[in-house]
Chain A
Amino acid sequence: MSTLKNLLLLSSLFAIVFASCQKDDVENPDDNNESELITTVTLAFADSANTANVRYFTFNDPDGEGGNGPTQFDTIRLQANTTYFTSVILLNQSGSAVDTISNEVLEEGVDHQFFFSTAGASATITYTDTDDNGNPIGLQTKWATSNISTGTATIVLKHQPEVKATAPGNQALGETDVELSFVFEIE
């Protein structure tokens, strides 16, 4: 039966195709993928009386949301009744090269705004930077602390493309990029 022979030939041909279609890169997933994460938030507090005196407080989750938990979540410790110049630094440390995301936020300042709030321990926080439209971004702020107390300080970064409100801004709009509640101690 020649048809049977043909069929067998055909099926063996496909068996070869079946076995040989292999892709090597399946075994070697690329860890350094190029998707963007914010892995690190650092707050730098420079004492207005002595700007060389800088305190750094960091939240660090090197693999981003999910996966392993955060590796570092500092308590913010500031002197009572002191004024600080505060900068927010956002980093992506998941790739092979560290990417400074806060520079990108500055560049797209018209679409972003940080919001700060405190509970328990209080500080008066004022914006000291502006975007191209003259509205605050919050990468640079001034914190005037009150008396000795303990509470929380919450920092929220909102992505508000095309909806960012004029000063003082509207936290209810947009999508949350960062939301962290630090333990806040005024000593």
Chain B
Amino acid sequence: MTMNTQGRPTAPTAVSTAAIETISGSRGLLQQEGLLFEIGTPETTGVDLPKPKGLKSRLGGVARKVDTGLPGLSEPQAVRHYMRLSQKNYAIDLGLFPLGSCTMKHNPRLNEKMARLPGFGDIHPLQPQATVQGALQLIDELATWLKTLTNMPSVAMSPKAGAHGELCGLLAIRQALIARGEGDVRKRMLVPESAHGTNPATAAQCGFTVDEIKANKRGRVDMADLKAKLEKSEDVAGIMLTNPNTCGLFETDIREIADLIHKAGGYFYCDGANFNAIVGRVRPGDLGVDAMHINLHKTFSTPHGGGGPGSGPTVFSEALAPYVPVPFVTKDEDGIYRLVEQVDGEASESFGRMVAFHGQMGMFVRALAYILSHGADGLKQAAEDAVLNANYIQARLKHVMSPAFDGYCMHEALFSDAFTADGIETIDIAKALIDEGYHPMTMYFPLVVHGAMLIEPTETESKAELDRFCDALESIARRAAQGDDTLKGAPYLAPMRRLDETRAARKPVLKWTAEDTSKVAAE
């Protein structure tokens, strides 16, 4: 045995590699952590507040009867609680996050720093406009970038996320149809079957009925089906089309689609979720688009935060521009920025107000920091690198996996499960990627491809990272083709094994109660 002068062994000695159970439940760096409700008490607090003076209440008796009884933690306990939980999350800062259609790219820390400047983070949406001229200028600058990059004359900044931007676009279409006196007639919204679920859901939220358009063998809109659905056109409100689409492909016939919809008296809503593939190279305004939302949390890298907040500014054509929601920012001749907050005067045709305040300012700051850092040249390069990376993955894996469609892709590569042996499913491949240290790709979407695997690497991955990922996925794909049953048990190396979603949905436990906890422990 090798030892130092104090008698401490300094080199490992060979021992059994059998799995080791621990008393604490922790496993090395991965710490066991209970629920807040199991480790805190209602008497504990992690803040030091002054003692109230005991003034006579002015609540008029409208007082809470039962205390919340919610537990608190001291500051060191709280720090550990969240730190330990954080260790159970995968994140883009840790590794490649190839979730298709989600654009998980690097989130620069400069953006976080800028959003926390007191002049942005500590200003109130209703303080006098003279005291927030810099904030209004920032919104106006970002709006100018978005309009210029899309070649669209108008933008609504207030939508809070992508689906909210869709709602904004469709409410503008609805308002335009009402203005034309056709609001009650034009109720049919065409939506390709490959669309993200938010598209049909948004159409329904706006009172439209959804008419599905088929995809052709090349993963694009089936033009024959579209034309058939437009033969009777008096009831057509418009089309919601994602471009590049959810198969990761540019809609080849997009100009003709726009023309057909316009000729039918409808409007063209473009879902801009995949704008990252074309930003700086193609302007949607040149394609006949009437409205398009832009996910700032995708294309312009405001962090996803484990499910938001997002931001979904929506650009509009001349035809729909009069109907944009309030509030919006204008600039007077004397250089003073002004918020238009009411539906009257210059906003008299506006369809109304979608949210309490002016949109996701915190996201605007981050997006503008990202955009200024890239500039027109960098954004174009970013789009090209995103598309190059996706095509590289497709080229490296097309011999072992089954590309869903022939030809080049845009920013994401789509495979079907055709290459897998009987009994091996897409989910098994996804979970095996977890053991290799990667977040899985988007699985089972889009619905038009069987067992779909949608891989979006983004432009912020190096070639070495891509190669390592491709090596891992290639090996898993070979095992899947050979019917390797061990894939069914993956992941083996994550903080948790596969979770029982059926059980969760059958008897939903949606909050902590003492009884539920003891029940699980007893099983």
Q: Do A and B come from one complex?
A: no
Chain B positions near chain A (C-beta within 8 angstroms): none
